[in-house]
Amino acid sequence: MRYLVVGAGGMLGTDLQQVLAGREVVALTRSELDVTDASATAEAVREADVVFNAAAYTKVDDAESNEEAAYAVNATGAANLASAAAAAGARLVQVSTDYVFDGGANEPYAEDEPLNPVSAYGRTKAEGERAVLAAHPTGGYIVRTAWLYGQHGPNFAATMLRLAADRDTVSVVTDQVGQPTWTLDLAKQLVALVDSDAPAGVYHGTNSGRASWFDFAREVFRLAGLDPDRVRPTDSTAFVRPAPRPAFSVLGHDAWSRVGLSPMRPWQDALADAFGTGALGAR
């Protein structure tokens, strides 16, 4: 089996390479493969058996004024990869996002919930999903994730640790709820998905449970040996941004059980392991 990791320089792409160590892997960073170039993408995919697309335009606020640029990567790029994978007979794992939903739910979003993005970033990722499923219905996997943190890129947990070194207290919102997800756990789940020969379709790749950003920050402080009471509660009105954030981003995991795979473990366990292995600093 030959594996292609696209977007190999990011948090998830780097962890995918770690999980795939010992296998035949080609890892291409953004500078090495422009997924908006259809011919270059087709050439890169031509000899692959499995393609992981971890490339994305993830600057959520910038996408509000640069939606065309975000669309080129998140939608056109995904379509190019799906068409190339279908032509090569390869399976494609397209990493998507909770932002394809509007955040107005009270219960976890099911995998077949209708999409209703409310931001430019969400719209472009939703179009990417549709493009993959249309171009490669028998070999396209959509895996939605959210609230990613890890060792190899900027993320919320790392930001909290940096702020803790500079400030006595930090204010974090309590009115946005989701699922903190370790990129190494997600990488393992994506590889397990393709190893299992599960059917193509939509899956939700987040650690289990739920938390507010405030809960997440307090747990980061606790695991770092800091006083969690230094994290102070606030709400979203204190942090007005160009792109709206989903208030509720909890994703359901029923699809895993239907294909005989276990959902990802609770977010608290993953975060503890991230600290224990040094991915976020010494515990």
- Residue 263 and residue 249 in contact, taking contact as beta carbons nearer than 8 Å: no
Catalytic residue (choose from 57, 99, 121, 149): 121
150: closest CA among 283, 25, 275, 6? 275
Spatial neighbors of 191 by CB under 8 A, at least 6 apart, are 16, 19, 20
C-alpha–C-alpha distance, residues 164 and 68, integer Å = 37
CA torsion through residues 255, 258, 262, 265, sign: positive
| 109 is annotated as an active-site residue | no
Tally of CA atoms within 13 A in the half-sphere of 22 that contains its CB: 1
State which H helix or E strand residue 254 sits in: helix 254-258
Assign 3-state DSSP to the chain and report helix, strand, coil percentages, each to 5: 40, 20, 40
In angstroms and rounded to an integer, the radius of gyration of the C-alpha atoms of the chain is: 18
| Residues tagged active-site | 121
